Structure 1
Amino acid sequence: MSSTPSTATSDAVVDSEIAIEQAHVDRVYGELGKAGERAGLVAADGLARGRTDRTGDIRDEEITGLFERDALVFNAARRQAALDTQYEGLVFGRLDIAHPTLGRGAQDGPDWWRGREREVRYIGRLGVRDEDYEPLVIDWRAPAAAAFYRATPVVPHDVIRRRVLRSQGTTVVGIEDDLMVAEAPDDLVIIGDGALMAALTRSRGAQMRDIVATIQQHQDEAIRAPSRGVTEITGGPGTGKTVVALHRAAYLLYSERRRFEGGGILVVGPSTAYTAYIERVLPSLGEESVTLRSVGDLVDAVSATRLDRPEVAAVKGSLRIRNLLGRAASAAVPGGPDSFRAFVGGQAISLGPEVLAGVRGRALRGHARNLAVDAARNLLAEAGWASHRTGQRADFLEAFEQSLAVDEFMAQWWPQLDPREILLWLTDTDLTYRLGRGALTDDECAAVAMSMREALESGEWSVADAALIDELAVRLGPVKDDRDEERGFYEIDELDSLSAGEFRELGNPYAAPAAAGQRAGTPRELLLRGRIGEPGDYAHILIDEAQDLSPMQWRMVGRRGEWASWTVVGDAAQASWDHPAEAARAREAAFGSALRRHFHMATNYRNAREIFDYARDVILPVLPDADIPVAVRETGVSPVEASLDPDPVAAVQAALDALGREVDGSIAVITPIRYADRLAPLRGRLDGRVQVLDPLSVKGLEFDATVVVDPEAIAAESPGGIRVLYVALTRAAHRMTVLRPA
């Protein structure tokens, strides 16, 4: 036996090892093809079971046949979809294991593997067995695969060699080995310098790559942590927090599928750019049953990407705004009737503003507004009777209930309200002053009113507005639709697509026609499109960039996880929310008394050391206690600094041309708002490799190279100041250019 591992350098040896692995991979794909054929046969059998020629009444056994058909076809289609998505890199790992034998169980000494029975175990994205039910590939989430991630030379877990296979489609194109022993068997060939560093040098694409083949031991511990309670994953930029969390979601679905697939897993990210970036990771790991939303997309029928100015976002995110929203939810409808006059049962009834205000206050005690309409009508009837007291009370109340005049009044005085309409009331600055008095300053009230006018002009809600809409939805309750029982199947979809204003117009024959500015296609119609549904309750919630959530956003997320377990990912040094203590209180309220566990990631795998040192020198003077990871990779190339003058577009284009020659993958131009419009046409340059993004939209993203435009302006314009600039400076893996005004 040799005293040192044999490291293969000859192309012939490498090709021979690749051929060995290719033979096994070919066998796996052969079995995968057979599995696909079996899934097709199951689907055909399911369709046959449910076939019937009867056109009249269907017997119970035929209903059972239809049910069996649907179940078989559904499961066959699901299995086929799983098989179809696994063709890229299905088999990515191999373990050479030495099993303990009697009297030889300890792993002592450099040759602990001697005398042990050896096994080869392949690891992949999906478990595959042959016709004799022998495993050809073990699912990476299975306990038998854990050693692939946890084995180290110190604690080898019976592993002699760990091999990572790199594939293109069904073809093995490269292998990298990690040796867990000091003295290896002569028949084991060791290829390359280690799988992790090889993976780190590869180019990034437009979407995040999973790290399933290169998960490290400390990451695997977080991925496989118990599901209950709150699992917090912290660490500085580039430490793999996001991909660890996503792999954890896939692991939870595998290990406790009934619980998490039934209850659902919600993944919340900071932006739509982020969700687009990560959307392929979970399917590539064999999981499709996860809901992926940005913070601006959490509320049904609301998809917000617009960002408020920092000072406005600070007001909307603070818990102080709840007082304004609570008052708005119970206020009289602007422009609605302030008195009630009608003939009821032959009697003239007149109720003034004070009486109506009293009725409204009593009706709302313990009731959500949209659900209190019956209580309000009953109290209004009692007030009408108390104002006259002529005749029999029962006769009067019955006449009141049947009165068309009362119907028309109620439709205008107590309409069913969409929470988004309440926010549009706040376009009136004077009303906002009245509702916000004592909770917000006059300047803050004016800023909120102006932001709502901006929404009405643009037809776009802001990301911060989503949490306000959700808060109001709870206070108002769902829009009550008494006509549901009368609607046909096809009418339901059509009516559910209407705005709340259109719904009330159709449902109330006494309502005035909508104003021209409220017709479909106007900004107002865009803001009110669709229906606000129930928030939903998930079994597990995963939040990335959690340090950015405002207190109001924590309340919004918390409503979706009352009984959930949590995975929370963040780094305080990268926060764009500037009031961490208030956010922490809201976060703890969302978690409740659940058990907490914490995992810390301390190694920066993304940034070359030269790039991260540049970013570190920016953040430490401002935040001395920032969580600074250790960068493990060097390129020998320092970030380039250049002038943005005299033509910013030309300067950025020159930087892109230079970077395009140095890297093969993605390049991002990270720009403050002041340059965004001028630099937008650069998007898609270099054969589609270039993106132009604002600093907040790059949260959670990474690129091969970046051009950071006017870093001082980025800090000045961003709610998190230098912390947001720190984010921008840590997005590049290999190259970074920083452009400053002269």
Structure 2
Amino acid sequence: MSASAPTPELKSEQDYLGAARAALAAMREQTLSLKVQAHDPISAEHLARTLHLRAASLQDDPSTTLFFGRVDTDTDERWYIGRRHVADSAGDPLVIDWRAGMSTAFYRASRTEPMGVVLRRRFGLDHGAITAYEDEHLQDRAEHDVRSQILAEEIERPRVGPMRDIVATIQPEQDEIVRAGADQTICVQGAPGTGKTAVGLHRAAWLLYAFRDRLARSGVLVIGPNRAFLEHIGAVLPALGEVAVGHTTIEELVASVPVRGTDPTATAALKGDARLAEVLRNAVWSAVQPATEPLVVPRGVRKWRVPAYEVNDILDELRSRGVRYDAARQMLPQRLAHAVLLKMEGAGDSPDDRVQDSVARSAVVKKYVGELWPALDAKAVLFALLSDLDELERHSVDLLTDDERRILVWDKPPRSKGAARWSRADAVLLDELGDHISRTPSLGHVVLDEAQDLSPMQLRAVGRRCSTGAATVLGDIAQGTTPWATDSWQSSLEHLGKPGSHVEVLDRGFRVPASVIEYAAQLLPHMAPGLGSPVSVRDNPGRLDLVPADAADLATRVAEVVTTELGEPGSIGVIAPDDMVQSLSESLRRNGIDHGVLGQDHGDIDHQVDLVPATVAKGLEFDRVVVVEPTAIAAAEPDERTGLRRLYVVLTRAVSALTVVHAEPLPTQLASA
């Protein structure tokens, strides 16, 4: 049932919403009125931050409603499902957080498995106000399944600005992923429009709700492909009341040095190979030198001697413990001092722990340790490897070929590590070295999006950040656009340190309409054979237009198409080859079209029109997309497969309509359109 006029039932729901908003405001005022009282400054600061975050999570957004659904159960209970918990002055719930266990039935109940639900109600919303509702009587066998019009309208609702949450439209298969246990790593193979990114973000929000004490301490991190993508998704978690989740890119994650150099593709691919981890490990541990002279420690009038063979036994034992290089190095003085104490006891002395500590801190022992187990700097180790072919060969025997070593070593080594022009791939190697030397702290949970594009060494860097936690891995093998893009999720999960983790396939498209996905899916057999085509489940097939143009007036034709699209509400993305972005931006300005330009290092998502370089389009979505020169987009990549994958990404960014403007002939793989 739906209503455009405030019938008594609709008016009752609107009044309930008003009461819930008033209760939320009272909850926030109560939080703001609390005074920080603590015994010390550190506790006071922690408490003040906790209250600040609590108040921020209770901030009402008048453009959205506090609840979007309702379930009536066969035990005469009624629950309103919303973005956060809201209670009245007596503490009784007015709105149940969508993450609560009792909310599960709202998303998963069906006529075959009603889960105790008698009625499920969805609300139609407009700028935060309830305007309609639909009811499903799940235990009424006479009533037939009817696709929810409210659900369809919410999915297709025009958007401008960042990605929004999908709490009102989560599907049963998505909900199962969202609520997977905190210790379970989940990999989601999701075709375009299946909502994999939103699922990953909502999983982070659910985990923080269900396991807050643990994850609030250890932290949750979202890793995306670029800053434009992070700007696009950045509003989702705050909208769900989670404001303490970090967002970063893989480059920022491993940024220990300024990146000033660029590797050829072959070099970057080789530096991303998992074999480099073993090469680096060899380089680190080869710094430990065998003892050739005994340790001699003077104490008073006597000198205590530990033979070299005993010292080497200690070194071998420390190397076999599985600890990091620096951790073992810090153990060595105490181990040597203990060996000295054994000599003292054998001579009839009775030394205690204070004597052992004194020996361990002595200048003689420190000097001896420094010679056998020197302190290491990751940059110095990598500088030595990339500067000297012989040094690299010493640590890569049986791991790399002669040709591969020549690819890795600098043609003209810089004078010092301070003058090195480190590349992005070098930064990942430095991160690996740093972990061999000293353990990287682990977070509680990592959400990794567009994971198909990460090299094995990049995956290892992410895996270090969740070595004691779990991960949500999101991606689409068909959208892999790097030379090292994976063809196997199991292989990627092994590099991540999560072998055997469950892979969930999402292939029902809720965002991309049928006309668009069917057009783009023509590319799949040519660049991802064996991967199933996504299926659009929307009633609205969307719109697909192919617009030929003359090369001389291509930019003008694009401006005309965009001007026509401005007549409808919603966001517009103009996606073009990277080298055409500047000229297209100038053409849009000349035609009076206000627009933003998305780039690798910044995002601007507050315009109705955004101009997007093809290499930045991954993960973004717009109501209507104008793709310029698809053949040139594909040709800009180093090989045909990668080019077609890039084009597949670009063509699947539209929620409602896709217009392709081209002067060059379309790729032959799209000729059947």
Pair in the same fold by TM > 0.5: yes
What are the equivalent positions in structure 2 for 1:415-494 lying under 5 Å apart? 419-420=378-379, 439=400, 442=403, 445-446=406-407, 449=410, 463-475=424-436, 477=437
- Structure 1's 25 and 89: CA in aligned 2 closer, same or farther, altered over 3 A? same
Q: Secondary structure at the match of 2:152?
A: helix
Q: Deviations over 1:102-147 (max 9, x none)?
A: xxxxxxxxxxxxxxx4x44211111111112221111111112222
Q: Paired residue for 2:120?
A: 161
| Aligned-residue offset at 1:601 | 1.7
Q: Deviations over 1:425-459 (max 9, x none)?
A: 78869789878897256488457748999xx9999
1:80 aligns with 2:2: no
Tell whether the 8 Å contact from 1:551 to 1:582 is kept in structure 2 after alignment.
no
| Aligned-residue offset at 1:369 | 8.1
Q: Paired residue for 1:91?
A: 66
Gaps of 5+ in 2: 288-314, 334-361, 596-606, 665-673
What are the equivalent positions in structure 2 for 1:588-603 lying under 5 Å apart? 588-592=494-498, 596-603=501-508
Amino acid at match of 2:444: A
Tell whether the 8 Å contact from 1:195 to 1:214 is kept in structure 2 after alignment.
no
- Structure 1's 299 and 90: CA in aligned 2 closer, same or farther, altered over 3 A? farther
What are the equivalent positions in structure 2 for 1:151-550 lying under 5 Å apart? 151-157=109-115, 158-168=117-127, 171-172=128-129, 174-181=131-138, 194-299=149-254, 301=256, 310-322=265-277, 325=280, 366=319, 368=325, 419-420=378-379, 439=400, 442=403, 445-446=406-407, 449=410, 463-475=424-436, 477=437, 535-550=440-455
1:33 aligns with 2:25: yes
Q: Paired residue for 2:560?
A: 654
Tell whether the 8 Å contact from 1:176 to 1:192 is kept in structure 2 after alignment.
no
- Structure 1's 370 and 72: CA in aligned 2 closer, same or farther, altered over 3 A? closer
Amino acid at match of 1:163: R
Q: Secondary structure at the match of 2:634?
A: helix
- Structure 1's 253 and 370: CA in aligned 2 closer, same or farther, altered over 3 A? closer
| Aligned-residue offset at 1:282 | 1.1
Q: Paired residue for 2:16?
A: 24
2:633 alignment partner, one of 687, 708, 714: 714
Tell whether the 8 Å contact from 1:310 to 1:717 is kept in structure 2 after alignment.
no
Tell whether the 8 Å contact from 1:166 to 1:172 is kept in structure 2 after alignment.
yes
Matched residues in 2 for 1:299 and 1:540: separation?
17
Q: Secondary structure at the match of 1:289?
A: coil
Matched residues in 1 for 2:412 and 2:27: separation?
56
Tell whether the 8 Å contact from 1:164 to 1:177 is kept in structure 2 after alignment.
yes
Matched residues in 2 for 1:205 and 1:284: separation?
15
Matched residues in 2 for 1:638 and 1:204: separation?
19
Q: Paired residue for 1:705?
A: 624
Tell whether the 8 Å contact from 2:21 to 2:66 is kept in structure 1 after alignment.
no
| Aligned-residue offset at 1:74 | 3.8
Tell whether the 8 Å contact from 1:426 to 1:452 is kept in structure 2 after alignment.
no
Amino acid at match of 2:546: V
Q: Deviations over 1:480-499 (max 9, x none)?
A: xxxxxxxxxxxxxxxxxxxx
Q: Paired residue for 1:615?
A: 520
Amino acid at match of 1:24: Y
1:559 alignment partner, one of 449, 455, 464: 464
Matched residues in 2 for 1:178 and 1:641: separation?
43
Q: Paired residue for 2:647?
A: 725
Amino acid at match of 1:23: D
| Aligned-residue offset at 1:541 | 2.1
TM-score (norm 1): 0.67
Q: Secondary structure at the match of 1:314?
A: helix
TM-score (norm 2): 0.74
Q: Secondary structure at the match of 1:122?
A: strand
- Structure 1's 151 and 559: CA in aligned 2 closer, same or farther, altered over 3 A? same
- Structure 1's 280 and 8: CA in aligned 2 closer, same or farther, altered over 3 A? closer
1:147 alignment partner, one of 93, 99, 105: 105
1:632 aligns with 2:537: yes
Tell whether the 8 Å contact from 1:296 to 1:303 is kept in structure 2 after alignment.
no
| Aligned-residue offset at 1:626 | 2.0
Tell whether the 8 Å contact from 1:299 to 1:535 is kept in structure 2 after alignment.
no
Matched residues in 2 for 1:27 and 1:666: separation?
37
Matched residues in 2 for 1:18 and 1:305: separation?
61
Gaps of 5+ in 1: 1-6, 51-62, 101-116, 333-361, 377-399, 479-533
| Aligned-residue offset at 1:313 | 3.3
Q: Paired residue for 1:343?
A: none
Matched residues in 1 for 2:661 and 2:214: separation?
50
- Structure 1's 131 and 330: CA in aligned 2 closer, same or farther, altered over 3 A? closer
| Aligned-residue offset at 1:248 | 1.1
Matched residues in 2 for 1:200 and 1:154: separation?
25
Q: Secondary structure at the match of 2:505?
A: strand
- Structure 1's 179 and 32: CA in aligned 2 closer, same or farther, altered over 3 A? same
Amino acid at match of 1:211: I
- Structure 1's 300 and 13: CA in aligned 2 closer, same or farther, altered over 3 A? same
Q: Secondary structure at the match of 1:138?
A: strand
Tell whether the 8 Å contact from 2:67 to 2:82 is kept in structure 1 after alignment.
yes
Matched residues in 2 for 1:445 and 1:307: separation?
17
Q: Deviations over 1:51-91 (max 9, x none)?
A: xxxxxxxxxxxx46x67755653433232121126555251
Matched residues in 2 for 1:711 and 1:565: separation?
39
Q: Paired residue for 2:5?
A: 12
Question: What is the number of residues matched between the two proteins?
Answer: 581
- Structure 1's 555 and 67: CA in aligned 2 closer, same or farther, altered over 3 A? closer
Amino acid at match of 2:646: V
Tell whether the 8 Å contact from 1:86 to 1:286 is kept in structure 2 after alignment.
no
- Structure 1's 132 and 679: CA in aligned 2 closer, same or farther, altered over 3 A? same
| Aligned-residue offset at 1:602 | 2.2
Q: Deviations over 1:323-359 (max 9, x none)?
A: 6656776899xxxxxxxxxxxxxxxxxxxxxxxxxxx
Q: Secondary structure at the match of 2:203?
A: helix
- Structure 1's 231 and 162: CA in aligned 2 closer, same or farther, altered over 3 A? same
Q: Paired residue for 2:491?
A: 585
Amino acid at match of 2:221: L
Q: Paired residue for 2:551?
A: 645
Amino acid at match of 2:571: G
Matched residues in 1 for 2:214 and 2:528: separation?
41
| Aligned-residue offset at 1:315 | 2.3
- Bigger Cα displacement from structure 2, 443-452 vs 135-144: 443-452
Amino acid at match of 2:95: V
Tell whether the 8 Å contact from 1:670 to 1:706 is kept in structure 2 after alignment.
no
Q: Secondary structure at the match of 1:203?
A: coil
Q: Deviations over 1:470-529 (max 9, x none)?
A: 112234x36xxxxxxxxxxxxxxxxxxxxxxxxxxxxxxxxxxxxxxxxxxxxxxxxxxx
Amino acid at match of 1:241: K
Percent identity (aligned): 31
Matched residues in 1 for 2:627 and 2:405: separation?
32
Q: Deviations over 1:524-579 (max 9, x none)?
A: xxxxxxxxxx6320122222222212111111111112222222222221122446
- Bigger Cα displacement from structure 2, 418-427 vs 140-149: 418-427
| Aligned-residue offset at 1:732 | 1.3
Tell whether the 8 Å contact from 1:665 to 1:703 is kept in structure 2 after alignment.
yes
Matched residues in 2 for 1:248 and 1:194: separation?
26
